[in-house]
Structure 1
Amino acid sequence: MACGLLGIILNALLFAGKLFAGMLSGSVAVTADAFNNLSDAGSSIVSMLGFKLAGQKADSYHPFGHGRMEYVAGLIVAMLIVLMGAELAQSGLEKIAEPQQVTFTALTAVILSASIAVKLFMFAYNRVIGSRIGSVSMLAASTDSISDTAATAVVLISAVVSHFTGIQIDGWCGTAVGLFIIYAGCRAAYDTVSPLLGQRPSGEFVENVKKTVLAHREIEGVHDIVVHNYGPECVMVTLHAEVPAEGDILALHDAVDAAERDLEETLGCIATIHMDPVVNDADTRRLREETAEAVKRIDQRITIHDFRAADCSGGKRLSFDALVPFGMEKSDEELTAMIRDSAAAETGCEIDVKVEKGYV
C-alpha cells in the first residue's frame, strides 16, 4: 500500500509541474507528458486496489485465494499505458500538421530534469520491490516509469533543439514518445496476460522442485510435473514420484509425505505427489534403455517415463508415456505410430505408448 501511495503522490506532483511547464512553453509534448503522469497516478490507484483485492483470504468460492487479481490490476495498468501512448501520439501528429512556436525557459528545463530524476528513482524502487515480492503490477509500474523517463528525456531534448535551432520538432518528438509508450504498454500487457493464461514455470523453479523431491533417497525419479500459479502467494505443484515397486508401501508413503512438506517449506507451494511404483530389475532396465534409444532416433528431445514391462501371450508388452516437445511438425497420432514401430523393431515386444506434452 505504501508503494502505491508513494507513486500517487510523486506522479501527482510531476503532473502539476509538467502541466505548468507545458502551459508556460506552449509545448504539446510537455503537456502530453504531464497527462501521462496523471494516468500514472491513476495506475498507482489501480495497483493499490489490486494489492488489496489480491490480499483477501481464500473462501469457499475461491479456495486458492485472490492472488490473480494482482495480474488483472497489472493488465489494467498496461491498458492505461497503451491508451495514454495513443493519446500522446495523436497530439504529436496534430502538432506536426499545425506546428506552433515553443517557448523554452530555464524553469521548463529544471522541471523536466527533475521529472527524469524522480522517474528513475521510481523505476529502481518499483523494480527492486516488485522483484523481491514477485509483484507483476509493480514490475509493470517500473516499466511505465522507465518509459516515462525516456519520454521526458525526448521532450527535453526537443525543447532544447527547438530553442537553439528554431527547428520545430515538438510534434515529431511527441509522436515518437507516444509510440514508445504504446510499445512499453504492450510489453507490460504481455507480462501480465501470460501468467493469467498459464505460463511455463521458470527452469530454476522446476529444478528446485526436482532437487527437493529427489533429496529423499526412497524416491528414484520424478515426472509429470505440473505447476499452477494462482498468484504470487499461491503456487500449486503436482508430480509423479517414482518409487521401487518392491519397497515398503508405508515407508514410501512417509517419504512422499515428507517431500510434500519440504516443497511447502522450501518453495512455499502447495504440493500433491502421486506415488508411482516402478520395477527396476535387470531385464526391465535393458528393455527401457533399448526403448529410449529407439525413441531418441525419432527425435533427441523425446523422453519416456512410466515404463512397464508385462508378460503377454506373444512375449513382452511394453507400456510407457512419451514426452514430446511443443512445436513438432508431426501430429501426436503420427508420433505415436512412429514411436510404436521404432520401439517394437528395437525390442521385439508389443508396444503400448501414450504421447503427451510437458507442462514444465
Structure 2
Amino acid sequence: MKEKIIDSIIKIFKLEKGDKNRNFGFFEGIISTIFNFFIFLIKYLFSNTLNSISLKADAFHTLSDILTSIIVIIGFYFASKKADKKHPFGHGRIEKIFSILMAIILIYVGYEFFISSLDRFKNPVNIDINYIAILILFITILIKEFLTLISLELGKRINSLALKTDAWHHRSDSIATLLIIVGFFTFKFGLYFLDGVFGMAVSVLIAYTGFSIILQSSSFLIGEEPSADLVKKINDIAYNFDYVEDVHHIHIHDYGNQIEITFHIRLKGDQTLNEVHDKITRIEEAIENEIKGANVTIHSEPLK
C-alpha cells in the first residue's frame, strides 16, 4: 500500500525526471516545510490558549522540523553538484555534514525546553482541557505520520541518510504530540505537574534524536564497513563470468553520489594481457550497470 502511494507521488510530480536524488530531496524538504509551518502555528496558538509548556515545547519541536527540512533542501542542492578538480568524487558527503547540522539544532532545542519544562514541573499551573484542541492535535499526528511515510520511503529508494533522518524526526514529533494528548487527559484529575514531566520527556526525545543523527552521520564520514549485501552483489556479478577463478580484497569507498569499488581477481587459464584487459573491462561494466553510482577498478593477479 505505502509503495503504491509513493509510486503515485513520484509519478504525479515527475520526481524521477532528471536528477532523481535532488528531486526526491527537494520534494521532501518543500512538502515538509509547508505542512510543518501550519502544524507549528496550530500547536503554538493552542499552547498559549491552554498555557501548556509541554505543548509549547512540542510546537518548537515542529519548528525545528522546518529548519531541518530547509537544511535538507540546501544539503541536496550542494550534494547534487558535479565533481570538479578539487572534489573528483563529487559532493555527496555534504548531505551528511548537513545532517550533523540538523542534529545540533535538535539538541539545542531539546536542552532549552528541558530547562523550561523542569521549571514548570517545579511550579505547576492549572491547564484547561480543550477537546477540540485534542482532536486537532490528533489530526496533526496523522499528517506527521504521512510525512514520515514520504520521507522514509523516498530515503530508502535513494539510500539517503538525510531523508531517513528527517523521517524519524517527523516520527518523534508524532510521539511527542501523542504524549501531550495523554497528558491532557491526566489534567482532568488535577495532575498539572505532569505537564512539566511530559515536556521533559519530549525534550529528551528531541535531544536523543539529535545525538543519534550525529552518530550515524559521523560513522559514515569516518568510513564504515560496506554492507554484506553490497559485497555479496559484487561477488555474484563477478562470479557470474565463467572465466573468473577468485575474487578477493574488496574495498568500497562511499562518497554519497559515487561509490568507488576496487578488488583483486584471478582468471582461469593462460591469457594474453589484452585478453585479461578485455575480460576485466566486461566485469567492471557489468558491476557499474547493476550498482548505481559505482566506479569499478579491478586488479588482476596470476593463478598460484
Give the TM-score normalised by the residue count of structure 1: 0.75
Which string of whole-angstrom CA distances, capped at 9 and with x for unpartnered residues, describes residues 124-171 of structure 1?
A: 110011111111111110111111111111111111111x21111100
Q: Look up the SS of the partner of 1:220 in the other structure.
A: strand
Shift of 1:244: 4.1
Which string of whole-angstrom CA distances, capped at 9 and with x for unpartnered residues, describes residues 180-199 of structure 1?
A: 22222222222222211111
Q: Look up the SS of the partner of 2:244 in the other structure.
A: coil
- Which one has the largest radius of gyration? 1
Q: Is the 8 A contact 1:14 1:37 kept in 2?
A: yes
Q: Is the 8 A contact 1:25 1:108 kept in 2?
A: no
Q: Which amino acid aligns with 1:273?
A: I
Distance in 2, Cα, partners of 1:195 & 1:75: 11
Distance in 1, Cα, partners of 2:281 & 2:34: 49
Shift of 1:210: 0.8
Q: Which of residues 274, 291, 294 in structure 2 aligns to 1:250? A: 274
Distance in 2, Cα, partners of 1:185 & 1:107: 32
- The answer as to 2:198 corresponding to 1:173 is yes
Q: Look up the SS of the partner of 2:251 in the other structure.
A: strand
- The answer as to 2:107 corresponding to 1:76 is no
Q: Which has the higher strand share?
A: 1
Q: Which amino acid aligns with 1:236?
A: E
Q: Which amino acid aligns with 2:215?
A: Y
Distance in 2, Cα, partners of 1:35 & 1:177: 11
Q: Which of residues 135, 141, 152 in structure 1 aligns to 2:160? A: 135
- Tell me which residue corresponds to 1:98: 123
Question: Does 1 or 2 have the higher relative contact order (CA < 8 Å, sep 6+)?
Answer: 2
Q: Which has the higher helix share?
A: 2
Shift of 1:211: 1.0
- The answer as to 2:173 corresponding to 1:160 is no
Q: Is the 8 A contact 2:263 2:298 kept in 1?
A: yes
**Unaligned stretches of 5+ residues in structure 1:** 280-360
- The answer as to 2:43 corresponding to 1:18 is yes
Which string of whole-angstrom CA distances, capped at 9 and with x for unpartnered residues, describes residues 11-66 of structure 1?
A: 11011000001001000001111111111101111000000000111111111111
Distance in 1, Cα, partners of 2:205 & 2:81: 36
1:211-360 correspondence runs (5 A): 211-231=236-256, 233-244=257-268, 246-268=270-292, 269-279=294-304
Distance in 1, Cα, partners of 2:302 & 2:34: 59
Q: Which amino acid aligns with 1:246?
A: D
- Tell me which residue corresponds to 1:124: 149
Q: Which amino acid aligns with 2:138?
A: S
Which consecutive segments of 4 or more residues in structure 1 shift more than 2 A? Answer: 243-250
Distance in 1, Cα, partners of 2:166 & 2:131: 30
Q: Which of residues 163, 171, 176 in structure 2 aligns to 1:146? A: 171
Give the TM-score normalised by the residue count of structure 2: 0.88
Distance in 2, Cα, partners of 1:117 & 1:91: 27
Distance in 1, Cα, partners of 2:108 & 2:259: 32
Q: Which of residues 79, 82, 89 in structure 2 aligns to 1:54? A: 79
Q: Which of residues 136, 154, 158 in structure 2 aligns to 1:111? A: 136
Q: Is the 8 A contact 1:225 1:238 kept in 2?
A: yes
Q: Which of residues 67, 83, 93 in structure 1 aligns to 2:92? A: 67
Distance in 2, Cα, partners of 1:217 & 1:256: 12
- The answer as to 2:30 corresponding to 1:44 is no
Q: Look up the SS of the partner of 2:82 in the other structure.
A: coil
Distance in 2, Cα, partners of 1:80 & 1:116: 22
Q: How big is the alpha-carbon RMSD for the aligned residues of Structure 1 and Structure 2? A: 1.3
**Unaligned stretches of 5+ residues in structure 2:** 1-25
Q: Is the 8 A contact 2:61 2:206 kept in 1?
A: no
